[in-house]
Amino acid sequence: MESTFSSPAEAALQREAGDPGLLTPLADLDHVYELERVIGFVRDVGCQRVALQFPDQLLGDAGAVAARLEEATGSKMFILGDTAYGSCCVDVLGAEQAGAQALVHFGPACLSPPARPLPVAFVFGQRSVALELCAQAFEAQNPDPTAPVVLLSEPACAHALEALATLLRPRYKDLLISSPALPLPVGSPRPVPEPLERFGRHFPLALGRCLEEYGAFYVGGSEASSDPELDPDLSRLLLGWAPGRPFSSCCPDTGQTQDESARAGRLRARRQYLVEKARDAHVIGLLAGTLGVAQHREALAHLRNLTKSAGKRSYVLALGRPTPAKLANFPEIDVFVLLACPLGALAPQLSSGFFQPILAPCELEAACNPAWPPPGLAPHLTHYADLLPGSPFHVPLPPPESELWDTPDVSLISGELRPPPAWHLSNDPGCFALTPRPQLELAESSPAASFLSSRSWQGLEPRLGQTPVTEAVSGRRGIAIAYEDEGSS
């Protein structure tokens, strides 16, 4: 039951085709999937068609859960088991195709707002937590009882944070408990004062306090994980947390702790390397990694305008889930930027199988906007919505006459001086797009054509005007292994 909701994402890629995944005993279905709460949700919204979204590792239980819910509610259940992008996002497109009036999301979730309003219930699962062991681990990592600390957890352990805080509060007075930032039902009033929302969580800060003052204690992960850096939820917390503040993680089963400061430093160094790669790049590939998260169209337009202002060429690609084989078809692209939810944007960056680096939107903003970052901003924004106008973190591009575009910049990878954007070098905005050819022709140059001209093999020779024109003739008949005119051998 514990591994059902907490197995790593790479396990789905390593599992052989046809494997139904882990099956939960029928007696435990009600507890593991919180069916009583789901039944209450379906009855409250009064819908007759409900979509049930399962990640790959839970599809083995999907049929039994759907049958149990149909029997209890009388509503028709549709199983969504093949999301086009990431299973952590609400698949509103799949629910609309099934004509569903509500959706129940099982497993880990990024809690990103969907592109279309739809009643959604989230079932994270309730992983067991050894409270006494975790409390002892917290005291060992935080010997100062006056230091401010935030309790964080993976979604499946969020139910135990309040009980853990009860054991710690007699000694620790400045203790903050985070909770998942579940979307409010349509029409419900917002709480006053509204809590701070960051990293898909709510932080009920006191008046005059800020999150950058707190250290962090994270409950989640697995001691047996071979590569803990593949957890995108923990990675976005480490990237976005204030540098210099303590951050430790604790295994909920054994209470074993780990200081995450070194890993956070490695992740930030990797991010800085990707920013330098984006500054050196001339061609940017914008990967549409989501169609179901709100403001994805506005974010795509923002990234295209960002690359154009920096004098770079961009291409928009809709390929579904990015894989090394798919992206290898575009060798002329220097770097890719994945426009996805916070968890989806970080997941492929931790893999070394891609031929070109994959960035998050925040890295592209840091590479192309000379006014970035503003003073006091966290080192890494995890959601592309934070970059758009209307967000408190939005930084507009400097005007064309600003001196920021002329600031000397040296590549930390090649050591060469980067020139300012081409549009800033000439008063004629169209002359830089023309390239003379030997025949004194003028044609618009493109990154793909330039890349093709630099290759040693460019395909079959066209030989325009050199091949005589002939009438059509009959070709060979038969199959390649034995044409009719070849005879028998």
Q: What is the pLDDT of residues 56-78, one digit of tens each?
A: 878 888 889 999 999 999 899 99
The confidence score (pLDDT) of residue 352 equals 66
Q: Which pLDDT tens digit goes with each residue over 187-207?
A: 666 666 778 888 889 998 888
Chain centre to alpha carbon of residue 318: 15
Q: Which pLDDT tens digit goes with each residue over 339-395?
A: 988 888 887 665 668 888 999 998 899 889 888 876 555 557 878 888 888 888 888
Chain centre to alpha carbon of residue 46: 33
On the question of a cis peptide bond just before residue 180, with omega within 30 degrees of 0, the verdict is no
The neighbour count for residue 474, using CB atoms within 10 Å, is 5
Where the chain has pLDDT below 70, the residues are 1-22, 82-84, 185-192, 222-230, 348-352, 374-379, 422-448, 488-489
Dihedral class, residue 74 (left if φ above 0, else alpha if ψ from -120 to 50, else beta): left
Query: Please, are residues 89 and 344 in contact by the beta-carbon 8 Å criterion?
Result: yes
Q: Which pLDDT tens digit goes with each residue over 99-134?
A: 899 999 998 888 888 888 888 999 988 888 899 999
Q: Which domains does the chain show, CATH number per domain?
A: 28-123 (3.40.50.11840), 131-185+192-267 (3.40.50), 281-418 (3.40.50.11860)
The confidence score (pLDDT) of residue 22 equals 58
Find, among 271, 247, 242, the residue nearest to 261 by Cα.
247
The confidence score (pLDDT) of residue 162 equals 93
E-strand stretches of 66-166: 76-80, 102-106, 120-123, 149-153
The confidence score (pLDDT) of residue 225 equals 46
On the question of a cis peptide bond just before residue 193, with omega within 30 degrees of 0, the verdict is yes
